[in-house]
Chains A and B, each alone.
Chain A
Amino acid sequence: MDGRCAVETWAEFGFSGASCTPTVKLGAGAGVFICTGSDEVYVFSAEERKLTTVLLFPAPVSDLVESADKQHLYVACRNGVYCVSLQFLLSRAHSSPADASSSPVELKISRECLVVPEEGVLSLLPVGSVLLTLSQRDTSWVLTVYNSPNQSASSSCEMLASYSLLQASGVVRNDTEERTGMRRRPVLICVHSSDATTSPPSSSEATSTDGQFRLEPVLFKLLFGIDAALAKSPVILCGLPDGCLCFLPLRLPGSRLRVLHSLEQPVVFVGACVVMETGPGHAQCLVAMGELGRVVLIKTDKGGPERGGSIAGFIERCVPGPVMCGCVDQKCLYYSTGSDLLTLDLSQGGEERDEEISSKTGAALQSPASLNVCRVIAVAEPTCNTAGEVQLLGLSARGQLQRITLPMRREDASLSKVAFSHVGRNVRDLLSAIGDVCERATTLKTAIKSKNQILTHLNQVLNISFLLITSTNSEEHLLLQEKPIRCHAVTKWSRLLQKDSLNLTCVLDNSSPYVLEQGWTLSITVFPLSYSPSTGGESPSTNFSFPFHNLHPGETLEVSLPLAAAGDSAFPMTLSCSLVFSLSSLLGEEAANVPSLQSSCFSLPLNTLTVDWLHALQVNRPIANHKKATSQCSDTAMDTIQAFLSSRRIRHSGRKDGGGESSSKPEQEQFSASIRVSSELLRDTLVLKSSGLDPQGPMLAPQNVFLSLLEWLLCEGPGEVRTEHQGDKISSSVIHGQCPNGHTVKLSAKEVNVREESLGKEESLTTVEVHVESSSITAVCGLHHAVLHRVQTLLQRAPERPASTKTVQSLGLRQALQRAEHLSQQIQQSRVSGAFGVGASTGKMTRSLLRVYRELRENPLLII
């Protein structure tokens, strides 16, 4: 058959691994009943195209049927058969206040609806006023006849009769059952002789719904005996999972279940259809189909010449299986193999001679036509729409309810030239089908693409993570090497709204081969190295986060953050940088709604920066200011005015901490500290450092060593933090500056020759002495610490040298040790007295400690 099927997906149901064959049944009034083998039965309205009701049963549902009068729905569960009034269902579905958009009504079916408390009913069939159930007991099949609940007085069904049949020992059945884990439902249909007056009311139809068929009388008599025909008894046909096709005349005294035929494979489907066009409206052929693809056609044949009369002919053929489900309409058998929906034209062969018929039918049976619909696992009875197209209602393996509209059957070669309008419509249909497919493909493509993107993204993320983790773990080795991803920063004083503030520009440098993509956030935590107890003992840390988009290899990201305002003295500060990746950004919008995903992120530490007093020092450069006055008049003028104003103000406000502007208050006590560094070391290290950058680096004059030290201290710094100053190179050896807490600081450097005598030899050593002087002890301490810290890193960077001048220090060391011992004693004393509280007040103790401290600072050790 050429042409394509139009498949329309109506709804989707959750489909779990079912214990029983799923079912789709077309009910009266455009209702569709779906059962997927779980505890639920879905009622779908074909008119409204929506799920109207969900029936919840206490046990897994194995089968469902509508009663003969279309008033009730019988549902077979594991613990019995329930009867639900369809009127009640409808009323419940409509009475629900919410309308079309709402979710379906859920109905819990209670035990009150239990009409047959028989366990393990597999299949149901209503025939007239009775209900038949088929169940399995040990090794036999039991067919039980019950009175309908509305017939009997009580609410439950009354058992009328029961028939049993020994199960055939089927190897096939066990095998497939084990494989699929699914119990195939026995098929039950009812066959009436078409001349019987008590046949179903809809007598015009050859086949009617719900497994009721009207069969040609001769075939009926041949198959089921004339007693059944005389008694006008309906005959029940059972297709059993053990491969037997049995029958039972329902209203015949002394009748029993008898085997009509054996397919030797689980019976999937039994039906009847009209094969000859000319016949009256009754089926002339019974069809049974086995799971492995065996098809049996049963129809009347002319008896052989020696016998005469008619005999029942069984035509057996095989089609490629496995057969999941099947149904039959007037001429065709439709079946699904799970991977395709196929159709077999049973009417082929027409009214020709016997042998030809059988051979032709055989040929037709062997060549089923594909309909190109896959994954159908259950189908309802086929219907014809107004256009004459056959429509099937199928349930796919994914739990989709699909309406499959079959292409029009091509009647003949001449008839195939249909009207243009029809062609047009066909083309339109095809186009729209193509459009549908295209649309589906596009969405699928996009989904795949986005997933791929996510994977690449994830790959990058993982690469970066591993890179950072290894670099953290082996920090020692990488100390000198530069980390592939790291931060460095520049501090700068700026003035905004008449207020000075120290800004930090942090630069994230990505020198790794990977891209930092969306989802990464640079997080900088700023906390002071030491903090006053007034903050409550907790580190007053500030966190800054900078999400960014893409940072390709070699690119840098610059962010600035306010570090401190003027007057803030919480230096030195530690900036701990880390990269944070949030998972929710990886998954996109879908993850945005999941609250638990919002917080799921991981943080990878980068490096730690330190901003110390030197960074925060505002250098006063009258010369520089002068120089720049022409170009940046307003700015510098403002600066000086501001400086003046602030000094005035401070003077008026009085001095509370004993600090103040050292320049304007000479009487104020000055604190000082000094550090001595060997100029040889400085030359080595500073020259070494600037050699790559500065062309005249190696020619650095020896007298300029202290200047370059100062410059290095003020601008470059040892770590990744630099200070940006407005001026250019430092020319004087004395620098006045302003600390963040407002005090002026004098920082000076000079070359000093240290002489030492040791073992009779006299050696001199050129050193550079850095002297810090300020009226504020905090500033002195902070600067001293900063300078020391930097010199320390300088030392670490110094190349290894043979110990030539080691002896020089020995005398100095001894002196220093003596001093230190003495000081230590003093500290001890003051601590003891402080502890006992004798003599001295706390002020006195502080003073003595301060004195010790100053002494320590005054006589620095020479750093070589």
Chain B
Amino acid sequence: MSHKVCQPPSLLDRWMQENNELVNKWQQEAGGDAVSRDQKAHLRSCSSEFHKLLQKIQGVPPLADHTQLELTVVYNACVCSVAQSHFSEAELLLIQATERVLQITGDNPVATDPPVFWKTALKSVANTALNSSIQYILCLQWAIWLATCQLKTIQEFQDELFSLSESLSTGDRVDRRSGASGKSSDIPLLVMDPRRLFELLQICTYIAQGAEKLSEGQSSEALSVLQTASSLPAPKTLVAYTHLLSGSCLTHMSCPQMALQCYRKALETDSWCVCALYQSMLIYRQLSNTQAEIQALRLLHSTLMLPSATEPALAGTHLLSPSLLLCSKPLNSLLSVPSALFVLHSLAQKCVIYGRVSEGVECYLDLLNTLHSEDQHGMHIEVHSLPRLPELYLEAGAALLMARRPTDCMALCDEVISTTLELLPDKLVLEEPEEKCEAEARPVGEEGEDRVGMLLWTGAAYLLQGHCHTNLKDWKQAVTHYTRCINLLVKVHFKRRGFQPQIPSVDMVGKQGTDLYILQRLKGLSLAGRGISFSQTDQLREALRDLQLSLQAFPDCVGAGLWCGEVLWRLGRRREAAACWEKTWSFTTQSSAENLSLYLKEPQSGPLLDSTELRHRIQGLGPTLSA
């Protein structure tokens, strides 16, 4: 002990020197434009150095003389640990250090409950020189709570935490003064300014709380919290987050226009806030503002394609990045942005649906190109997933057909067919889905589902090829392809519970989106296509049969209805024709196939019948009819 008594001053100095050297080294390295990986390694080495130093210091019983230094080293070591996400390690250090301080002041550590423990600690050092040091340490505890999403604990302790602000600033001033008067070696240095840390923690806490409240449905409360946060001094990324979250609150409160304002503010604050762009796109979609939606999608895509966008938006220059502190689930789901590919697909789809076909085609081709490029490494496993690849091909084919590029469309379809053809089953039984939840529970890509899917995709590819030949007025080829499609589709048997499998009949029209629905729709479309083709080659009897079958399978088919009437007309069954037309016109209005895949839509490219001309005919027929 006597040895120690004579040693402390020199030991203290040495430790302090070591600490300050480490801090300086860290700041020099971090200041340079180092690659993030090197920085990580550097952080690791720094952290271990600090921990070693701390072990040395804590090897000595707690003494009031060097507690200040000890707490500083604890702070530094913990900042490094937290930066490496070693939260439990850091928390243990903090509590140990505080207990040592309490030993000096003579207060026994009372409770294991963290807030009570910290309150005791704060109280026991209230008017001593250690006050500010303990507060730094408390800030770190706060950071750990935040990073581990213990928002409730923070809530309990919020008053004390937020009141740290004043004392920190005064403590800081004292430190600065002493720093100005003396050499830097006299005071132990800190790796991170506690004042900065406090600010960061404060706004991050607000953001996390806002997100939590929003997810709990307390939108207005969340909004008030976020409004407070938006006025705080903070990095612009975080300020942008507050605006963004406010926008989300407003969306939940059904104020889309105000939400849009907030998103705009967020984007103005931080131009890399792609999430705001995405959210505004969703609002435009909700508002059915197609032009704005497409515009937003385009912007979003080009932003995502920028190399910097792939980097984490919150890569701060500080030791503790905001992304480390903001990790709650609701927040992350609010901040998530789909991948560039998904955005591109949405963009392509929207363009085609809203008539900007050539743009849409370009997007589709871009998409396919990207998928085939070697740089593609399917890294995003995400909620917003792309449709299956064959569907993408078919959609692109349909778009190409719309853009009057039938040969390109045929090439794409050929590719799908060549891929699937060998795997097609001879016979397939489609079972009625038991319940919806069960259907959802089925894992994607299971063999059985894949077989149905493959058959439907191949059918759709044949259908599209038929459309292409129709478009080229190559009726014979068109008939061949439509026939292939029909032949394929009749292989599918449908099994209802308690019944034998059978070829699905007219009345079996499933709900939209089910395999059965798609099957029937394909059947209807292909029969209609073949019927129309037959009608063009004056095989009216066959045409009539097909068109009628088509209407049975899929009654909403406008083309089939109109052409059925036309064929009837040509066959001289004018009244029936008129009735058929009337009936068709009556359901055109109600048929809504918004969510349907592009390739399942009725072709707009085939031989057309002018409705006005048809009406004229009916009118011409009318008097005779009435007469």
Contact = CB atoms under 8 A, between A and B. Distances in A.
Interface of A: 117, 128-130, 145, 154, 156, 160-162, 198, 217-218, 221-222, 225-227, 229-232, 249-256, 258, 303, 306-310
Contacts of A307: 425-427
B445 interface: yes
B420 A226 contact: yes
Given A156-B37, A251-B371, A254-B386, A310 B423 contact: yes
Given A225-B445, A309-B451, 8 more contacts: A217-B422, A221-B420, A229-B419, A231-B376, A251-B377, A253-B339, A303-B425, A308-B427
A161 B37 contact: no
Interface in B371-426: 371-372, 374, 376-382, 385-386, 388-390, 393, 415-416, 419-420, 422-426
A230 B415 contact: yes
B464 interface: no
Interface residues of B, number: 35
Given A218-B422, A253-B386, A310-B422, A154 B35 contact: yes
B454 interface: yes
A117 B382 CA distance: 27
Contacts of B380: 253-254
A376 to B, nearest CB: 37
A308 B422 contact: no
B419 A230 contact: yes
A253 B427 contact: no
B341 interface: yes
**Which of A218, A222, A232, A253 gathers the greatest number of chain B CB atoms within 10 Å?**
A253
B431 interface: no
A116 to B, nearest CB: 10
Nearest to B392: A230
Contacts of B426: 303, 307-309
B377 A250 contact: yes
A253 B378 contact: yes
Given A117-B41, A226-B389, A227-B389, A253 B422 contact: no
A227 B420 CA distance: 10
Interface string B448-464: 00110010000000000
Given A128-B374, A222-B423, A251-B371, A160 B450 contact: no
B425 A250 contact: no
Given A231-B372, A307-B427, A255 B378 contact: yes
Nearest to A130: B377
Nearest to B341: A253
A220 B470 CA distance: 34
B393 A230 contact: yes
Contacts of B35: 154
Contacts of B450: 225-226
Contacts of B381: 254, 256
A253 to B, nearest CB: 4
A222 B379 CA distance: 23
Contact of A161 (B379, B388, B422): B379
Contacts of B420: 221, 226
Nearest to A197: B372
A232 B427 contact: no
Contacts of B451: 309
Nearest to B367: A253
Contact of A227 (B379, B382, B390): B390
A77 to B, nearest CB: 16
Contact of B378 (A129, A251, A303): A251
A226 B390 contact: yes
Nearest to A256: B381
A310 B420 CA distance: 11
**Which of B378, B381, B423, B426 gathers the greatest number of chain A CB atoms within 10 Å?**
B378
A681 B424 CA distance: 129
Given A117-B41, A226-B389, A250 B378 contact: yes
A253 B377 CA distance: 7
**Which of A117, A198, A229, A232 gathers the greatest number of chain B CB atoms within 10 Å?**
A229
Interface of B: 35, 37, 41, 339, 341, 371-372, 374, 376-382, 385-386, 388-390, 393, 415-416, 419-420, 422-427, 445, 450-451, 454
Main secondary structure of the interface of A (DSSP, over half): loop
Nearest to A254: B385
12 contacts: A145-B379, A221-B420, A221-B423, A231-B372, A231-B376, A250-B377, A251-B377, A253-B341, A254-B382, A258-B445, A308-B425, A309-B451
B424 A309 contact: yes
A334 B382 CA distance: 42
A255 B374 CA distance: 15
B365 to A, nearest CB: 15
Nearest to B35: A154
A571 to B, nearest CB: 72
Contacts of A130: 377
**Which of A154, A225, A231, A309 gathers the greatest number of chain B CB atoms within 10 Å?**
A309
A219 B445 CA distance: 16
Contacts of A256: 381
B40 to A, nearest CB: 9
Contacts of B341: 253
A250 B385 CA distance: 16
Contacts of B424: 308-309
A818 to B, nearest CB: 81
A227 B427 contact: no
A251 B374 contact: yes
A233 to B, nearest CB: 8
A217 B415 CA distance: 13
A251 B374 CA distance: 7
**Which of B374, B377, B388, B454 gathers the greatest number of chain A CB atoms within 10 Å?**
B377
A256 B454 CA distance: 21
Given A231-B371, A253-B341, A226 B379 contact: no
Contacts of B393: 230
Contacts of A198: 374
A252 B445 CA distance: 14
A160 B374 contact: no
B379 A160 contact: yes
A227 B378 contact: no
A178 B545 CA distance: 74
A192 to B, nearest CB: 13
Contacts of B386: 253-254
A230 B451 CA distance: 16
Nearest to A303: B425
Contacts of A218: 422-423
A226 B423 contact: yes
Nearest to A225: B445
A160 B388 CA distance: 22
A258 B426 CA distance: 28
A306 B426 CA distance: 8
A388 B427 CA distance: 47
Nearest to A307: B425
Nearest to A234: B374
B221 to A, nearest CB: 37
A306 B35 CA distance: 61
B416 A306 contact: no
Given A226-B390, A253-B341, A309 B423 contact: yes
Contacts of A229: 419
A126 to B, nearest CB: 13
Contacts of B372: 231-232, 251
Contacts of B376: 231, 251, 253
B458 to A, nearest CB: 10
B416 A230 contact: yes
B377 A221 contact: no
A321 B420 CA distance: 40
A156 B36 CA distance: 12
A128 to B, nearest CB: 6
B235 to A, nearest CB: 26
Nearest to A129: B374
Nearest to B379: A161
Contact of A117 (B37, B377, B389): B37
A143 to B, nearest CB: 11
